[in-house]
Amino acid sequence: MKSIKLKHKLKKSSKKRLLIILILIFAVLSTSFFLFTRAPMDPFKTWRELFVGTGMTTASFRGLVQFIIPAEEVKRIMAIGDPYVKDKTTTDSINVGKIDLSGVSQSTPSPTRPLKITLLSEKAILKIQKLDIAKGGDGYIYVKEAICGISTKVKISERYNYEYFNPKRYLIEKGMDSFYVDMVQVKSKTFNGNLLIVSDPSKVSVGVTSKVGLVGEALDKIISNYKGIGGINAGGFSDSGWTGNGGNPEGLLVSHGNVISNAHQKSICGFTNKNKFVVGHYTSKELKALNLRDAVEFNPPLVVNGKPVFNYGSNAATGIHPRTAIGQRKSGEVLLLTIDGRQIESVGASLYDVQNVLLENGAYNASNLDGGHSSFMMFDNKVINKPYMNNPDKKLPSAFIIIP
């Protein structure tokens, strides 16, 4: 009898313990959920901003974010990650000068000179640099220590380090023209990226799918259509059912002076007929006065007149993704950047990171472009970056391409 009562007590006691454990688990989970979704202090605030910033800019995760996070908090975070930037480019400060090719041997320019892409030696690069310094220039290609192939870390802020390595300089010759394309790899603790630096801004323009309104085309196809040698994806697109056919460009789209789409709503970026890169929100009247030769529409600007748009406090709210961006130095060179993402070796970058990489490489004006699945870079018939999903046939509406 006593043993039966003891068993009954133990059974009752174990049920109580189980109930207490379940209550504690529920309390921990509900408290964690509350802190994650509503707490105004760090680290919960930063985690929440990162979750919302990443999820809301990824089509397949928007529903989950909206289900978990209160609508007013989503709205607040998205306003941080996609700000309305009032400043616009002041083109007077941009100096697009003639390219100095005196430091390197080249074939004789002629109208019939065929396309030639030559990888220059480190010795030739050093000679060019010394000539540039002698003429009053700053003598840098990417980071000064990197021109001899020395890996160097450049500190951008108290929290981030970016490393630039494996620099290369290509001489591009065709007909009467010659210019440089510099290539450098970018690395941080969380991402890998690639940067192309084009010495002549007149050689960078917008290419468009030949089937606008129907279907986009792969980056290599757009490049070959315009007889280009490289480039990156550019503007965004819309299509029913999120099928990703890339046929309908979003917003303003100008290619070689031809207006392909004029549904202007957001910030634009592109080149004037004087090869000066502009970014910002412009009225239709202001756009007309700019005399744009090539432009796309995409948010947000990253650097305007040498000033960064994002500070560290807005880092998490922009999310972590594969990225594509474009910029121009005050001296005219064009910066084309891609960051790999959604991979074990490269998670992705925030817009704060992208902005800082461009600033470190001399950007005076710069803009974000379409990223995610669309982020692609090619040069000399090769895919340079590691695109998410590794789909070389990804259909795009437009691209910034390098045309000799």
pLDDT tens across 103-122, in order?
Answer: 667 778 888 899 999 988 76
pLDDT score at 149: 38
Unique residue bearing structure tokens 């030769």: 293
What pLDDT band is residue 4 in, cutting at 50, 70 and 90? low
| pLDDT (tens digit per residue) in 282-331 | 988 898 899 999 999 999 999 999 999 988 767 777 889 999 999 999 88
Tokens of 347: 């998670």
What's the mean per-residue pLDDT of the chain? 82
CA neighbours within 13 Å on the CB side: how many for 229?
20
What does the DSSP 8-state code read for residue 299?
S
pLDDT score at 275: 96
What pLDDT band is residue 241 in, cutting at 50, 70 and 90? low
- Evaluate whether 182 touches 122 at the Cβ level (below 8 Å): no
- Evaluate whether 267 touches 279 at the Cβ level (below 8 Å): yes
Query: pLDDT at residue 143 above 90?
Result: no
Q: Which helix (H) or strand (E) holds 52?
A: helix 44-55
Give the burial class of 40: count Cβ atoms within 10 A of its Cβ; 0-12 exposed, 13-18 middle, 19 or more buried.
exposed
pLDDT score at 148: 36
Mean pLDDT of 52-81: 81
pLDDT score at 106: 75
Report how far residue 222's alpha carbon sits from residue 227's, in angstroms, rounded to the nearest whole number: 9
Report how far residue 65's alpha carbon sits from residue 55's, in angstroms, rounded to the nearest whole number: 6
| pLDDT (tens digit per residue) in 243-261 | 668 778 889 999 999 999 8
Query: pLDDT at residue 343 above 90?
Result: yes
Report how far residue 323's alpha carbon sits from residue 137's, in angstroms, rounded to the nearest whole number: 31
Mean pLDDT of 331-357: 94
Closest among 177, 102, 178, 163 to 135, alpha carbons compared: 102
pLDDT score at 354: 95
Q: How many residues does the chain have?
A: 404
Mean pLDDT of 391-401: 90
- Torsion-angle region of 60 (φ positive above 0: left; ψ -120 to 50: alpha; else: beta): alpha
pLDDT score at 11: 59
Mean pLDDT of 87-95: 80
What pLDDT band is residue 181 in, cutting at 50, 70 and 90? very high
Predicted TM-score of the model (pTM): 0.85
Closest among 81, 83, 35, 84 to 55, alpha carbons compared: 81
Who wins on pLDDT, 198 or 48?
198
Least confident stretch, 68-72, 176-180, 195-199, 254-258: 68-72
- 285 CB neighbour count, 10 Å cutoff: 7
Q: Which helix (H) or strand (E) holds 329?
A: strand 323-329
Unique residue bearing structure tokens 């700000």: 83
| pLDDT (tens digit per residue) in 163-173 | 777 778 899 99
Query: pLDDT at residue 133 above 70?
Result: no
Query: pLDDT at residue 358 above 80?
Result: yes
pLDDT score at 196: 95
Who wins on pLDDT, 151 or 170?
170
What does the DSSP 8-state code read for residue 318?
G
Tokens of 240: 């029913």
Backbone φ and ψ of 392, nearest 5°: -65, -15
pLDDT score at 152: 37
